Amino acid sequence: MAKIVCVLYDDPVDGYPKSYARDDIPNITKYPDGQTAPTPSAIDFKPGALLGSVSGELGLRKYLESQGHTLVVTSDKDGKNSKLDQELHDAEIVISQPFWPAYMTAERIAKAPKLKMIVTAGIGSDHTDLQAAMDRGITVAEVTYCNSNSVAEHVVMQMLSLVRNYIPSYNWVIKGGWNIADCVSRSYDIEGMHVGTVAAGRIGLRVLRLLKPFDVHLHYLDRHKLPDSVEKELNLTHHTSLESLAKVCDVVTLNCPLHPETEHMINEKSLKNFKRGAYLVNTARGKLCDRDAIARALESGQLAGYAGDVWFPQPAPQDHPWRTMPHHGMTPHISGTSLSAQTRYAAGTREILECYFQNKPIRNEYLVVQGGKLAGVGAHSYSAGNATGGSDEAAKFKR
Ligand code: NDP
């Protein structure tokens, strides 16, 4: 029987919810490319419940215990002697979410001799040292597509918030003001602007589609060109370098995975190619950007605004400069963990576990690493190597 260690974020400070703002959520069974939403044999939770925090347990306890397995759920993941570290010695499966990632570094993997699988309940497995997982023959899987559309909605929300100066204007209301000139002196329409995405995968393409009705000019950078029919439908301009995209875009959004090739792609040097006053929205991974270069670009005016929900490390320490830099619209890492998204990634995690325990193949699209090499979505979108360096800084966060 297996021991499964599941690392989840803390419950709300006021306690696990007894009721919710809404009574139901739409039932999404298919994604835009035809891929089916997760299909576990059953679920033991009500869709729309808070599953991603410790008491929600991803809805897995009943299923796992009924099969005789042991489930350990904790939010204590960073620093010396965390609960996660204490539990690794006999863990067969580690599950965590990118929002509150269990950084599965080579050191941690070495402490877990029985470890067979690392599951990302969500999308983006950069918190695992993929090279170390390959070297040990550990399977890495994620719930591809479960929250891609959720993130795309967040991207569009944050783009509009920055361009229209929403957050400072909202704050004038809270402060009791009616300071129209203060609000609008940084407020523009997005109509007519050039908007580009770095990567046109599931999220990037969704962002392009959502933006089309705003009458903007759409651009994308991706190693693989989209089909001609899609380029035509959305009137897209394809770029083969970040420099070429950045030079023409007023708004840029990052939607590629973090892997050694993409780490710090936005840095002091590449920011010089952006138009002065460009907006940057990054809901992909914090480490795609050089942290201090972003803060400096906002201070100098090279960037007019920066928003997103991803940081490095996570949780971000209190003194992380992105908490206090000017003209930012950051949220904690939430875009992919709406209650709607949680329903899908909890079901997807269960589907992966059912396949694992029944010796059935895990869907190819869920695989990142298998059999000592990149596989499935991993082979398409990631590069080999490790992007977890510096993650021990997460221990600096004080609750
Ligand atoms: P996909 O795998 O569908 O798309 C990733 C795309 O990135 C692919 O099209 C891939 O292109 C492209 N890509 C990879 N490397 C590069 C590169 N060097 N330059 C340009 N493009 C590149 O994934 P999703 O769209 O679903 O998710 C993307 C990322 O978003 C995730 O990996 C994760 O990090 C992040 N994410 C964030 C969430 C949040 O809550 N904030 C939730 C979900 C995801 P190619 O065609 O060449 O393979």
Active site residue 285: yes
Note whether residue 399 is domain-resident: no
pLDDT of residue 383: 85
CATH assignment at residue 25: 3.40.50.720
- Report pLDDT digits (tens) over 187-217: 999 999 999 999 999 999 999 999 999 999 9
Note whether residue 58 is domain-resident: yes
Active site residue 259: no
**Whether residues 121 and 158 fall in one domain:** no
Ligand 1 pocket, mutate which of 96, 97, 123, 157 (most atoms under 8 A from CB): 123
Note whether residue 248 is domain-resident: yes
Beta bridge partners of 239: 221
**Whether residues 197 and 289 fall in one domain:** yes
Note whether residue 194 is domain-resident: yes
Identified catalytic residue from 97, 147, 158, 255: 147
Answer yes or no: is pLDDT of 334 > 80. Answer: yes
Note whether residue 262 is domain-resident: yes
Note whether residue 250 is domain-resident: yes
pLDDT band of 71, cuts 50, 70, 90: very high
Is residue 197 within 8 Å of residue 207, measured between CB atoms? yes
Instruction: Name the average pLDDT for the chain.
Output: 97
Report pTM. 0.97
**Whether residues 27 and 173 fall in one domain:** no
Which residue CA neighbors atom 40 of ligand 1 most closely?
Answer: 336
pLDDT of residue 117: 98
The proportion of the chain whose per-residue pLDDT surpasses 70, expressed as a percent, equals 100
Note whether residue 215 is domain-resident: yes
**Whether residues 27 and 52 fall in one domain:** yes
What is the 124 CA–ligand 1 centroid distance (Å)? 8
Answer yes or no: is pLDDT of 361 > 80. Answer: yes
pLDDT of residue 203: 98
**Whether residues 320 and 208 fall in one domain:** yes
**Whether residues 298 and 156 fall in one domain:** yes
First to last CA, the chain: 35
Answer yes or no: is pLDDT of 80 > 90. Answer: no
Give the residues surrounding ligand 1 with Cβ less than 6 Å away. 122-124, 147-148, 151, 198-204, 221-224, 255-258, 261-262, 283-285, 309-310, 333, 335-336, 377, 380-381
| DSSP character string of 244-282 | HHHHH-SEEEE-S--STTTTT-BSHHHHTTSPTTEEEEE
Ligand 1 pocket, mutate which of 241, 381, 382, 388 (most atoms under 8 A from CB): 381
Please state, in angstroms and rounded to a whole number, the distance separating the CA atoms of residues 198 and 265.
10
Domains held by the chain: number: 2
Mean pLDDT computed over 357-383:
96
Beta strands 236-239; 217-221: pairing state: parallel
- Helix (H/G/I), strand (E/B), else coil: 355: helix
Reduced DSSP (H G I as helix, E B as strand, rest coil) percent helix, strand, coil of the chain, to 5: 35, 15, 45
What is the 97 CA–ligand 1 centroid distance (Å)? 16
**Whether residues 372 and 306 fall in one domain:** no
**Whether residues 310 and 341 fall in one domain:** no
Name the token pair of 156. 């569009």
Which residue CA neighbors atom 20 of ligand 1 most closely?
Answer: 222
pLDDT of residue 24: 96
Q: Which numbered atom of ligand 1 lies nearest the CA of 204?
A: 25
Active site residue 255: no
pLDDT of residue 49: 98
**Whether residues 192 and 82 fall in one domain:** no
What is the 382 CA–ligand 1 centroid distance (Å)? 8
**Whether residues 28 and 134 fall in one domain:** yes
**Whether residues 185 and 325 fall in one domain:** yes
Q: Which numbered atom of ligand 1 lies nearest the CA of 199?
A: 21
Note whether residue 88 is domain-resident: yes
**Whether residues 87 and 182 fall in one domain:** no
- Report pLDDT digits (tens) over 93-126: 999 999 999 999 999 999 999 999 999 999 999 9
**Containing structural domain, residue 349:** 3-146+337-376+385-394
pLDDT of residue 236: 98
Active site residue 219: no
